[in-house]
Amino acid sequence: MPGTNLPNLLMEKLFENSSEAMFFFDKQGKVLAMNPAAEDIVDKDILKQFYQGEPDALCRTCRGYTSETDLRTCLNCFIHSTEAEDFTSYQVYLDTRDKGMVPFAATYHTIDYENEIRVLMLRDLTRQFKTQEKFYQNKMMKHIIEAQENERKRISRELHDSVAQELMSAVIDLRVLKYMTADEQLLKKVKQTEASMTRLMNDIRNLSVELRPAALDDFGLDAAFRSHFKRMEQSYGLVIDYESRLSEKRYKSEVETVMYRVCQEAVLNALKYAQVDTVKVSLAEEDGVLNLRIEDEGAGFNLGDEPDGTGLGLFGMRERAELVGGTFNVDSGIGRGTRITLQIPV
């Protein structure tokens, strides 16, 4: 019948074309056969030892398997274990020909009980490990940023509600003192102290807002942006042409934080390096995506030559955007200004 040899043909194709490495061992631990994927893993010298029938050839490339207590161990090795069926699924590390140390998902089965022939199958876990590592890095970074923002919020509230209020009380007491004496020299000193404390109080309030604006937590992005831009105009004379088209008043806290920090950094960079008097900022939600755009017609810079001394930096802004599933882009060049865009699905 035409289909009589089909299973054998399929097994042969599996052996030849599988991306998983296959090693077949006899009861002494000698290699009987390897598929091409297995041959690609091991060094040529060790491959030669495999085919010469050396029973410990695998040990020369193996760096141990993961047990319940050790990341890599050779104790109770599956090749020499009398209870090999316990190794039906585990993780092993091999020193490979081209990739160095590589983790593999391994299975070790007896396929011929009469002759005690076993097969070791290996699947490269490098991609899965990188994905997992990136996942944990992102998760840890989110926790770090969240903790940082919470600490900023705590310090900001403390400065505003405690330190600034105490200074205000002291300023009021100084103003009262001015009406309690006619000594000109003393009045002059009181006025000087009052002016110094008033400046200090304003500096503390500004620092409190820079750390974490209350408007961002209480009223959302639009209010926080307008408050921030007003302070920038009052403090530095920078005119910010701001346009907002939001369909929602509030978004997730982490989204609002990323939007605010990226905008804060971009506008500050424009003030420091662009040599302009006006910056355009637009904030809009379109088709479920929150879009932020900051642009100036200033000096610009060549991408890759990021100015020194920036706070978050372009890399930091891009990293924050990626943590909330957003995309961050910069378009700039010498003499043609800078355009920064941030898009976050909401």
Tens digit of each residue's pLDDT, the chain (346 residues)? 455 578 888 888 888 888 899 999 887 778 888 899 998 988 888 888 888 878 778 888 888 888 888 888 888 776 666 554 556 778 899 999 888 999 999 988 888 888 888 888 999 999 999 999 888 888 888 888 888 888 888 888 888 778 878 888 888 888 888 888 788 888 888 888 888 888 888 888 878 888 888 889 889 999 999 999 998 998 889 999 999 998 777 899 899 999 999 999 999 999 988 889 999 999 999 989 999 999 999 998 888 766 555 456 788 899 899 989 999 999 998 988 999 999 999 8
pLDDT at 180: 82
Q: Could you give the maximum distance between any two Cα atoms of the chain, in Å?
A: 122
pLDDT at 181: 78
Structure token digits, residue 170:
């002291």
Q: How far apart are CA 202 and CA 32, in angstroms?
A: 81
pLDDT at 312: 62
pLDDT at 307: 56
- The amino acid at residue 312 is L
Rg of the chain's alpha carbons, rounded to an integer?
Answer: 33
pLDDT at 4: 56
Residues with Cβ within 8 Å of 291's Cβ and at least 6 positions away in sequence, in order, are 282, 283, 284, 285, 341, 342, 343
Structure token digits, residue 264:
């804060």
pLDDT at 341: 96
What crossing angle do the helices spanning 253-269 and 313-323 adopt, rounded to 10°? 160
| Whole-prediction pTM | 0.65
Sheet architecture: strand order including 327-332: 239-245, 278-286, 289-296, 338-345, 327-332
Q: How far apart are CA 184 and CA 178, in angstroms?
A: 10
Instruction: State the average pLDDT for the chain.
Output: 86
pLDDT at 1: 44
pLDDT at 86: 55
Cα–Cα distance list, 290 to 219, 232, 296, 328 (Å): 17, 23, 20, 12
pLDDT at 85: 53
Q: How far apart are CA 173 and CA 9, in angstroms?
A: 97
Work out the burial of residue 254: count CB atoms within 10 Å of its CB; fewer than 13 is exposed, 13-18 middle, 19 or more buried: middle
Measured from the Cβ of residue 71, the count of other Cβ atoms closer than 10 Å reads 11
pLDDT at 158: 84
Q: How far apart are CA 31 and CA 50, in angstroms?
A: 6
- The amino acid at residue 120 is L
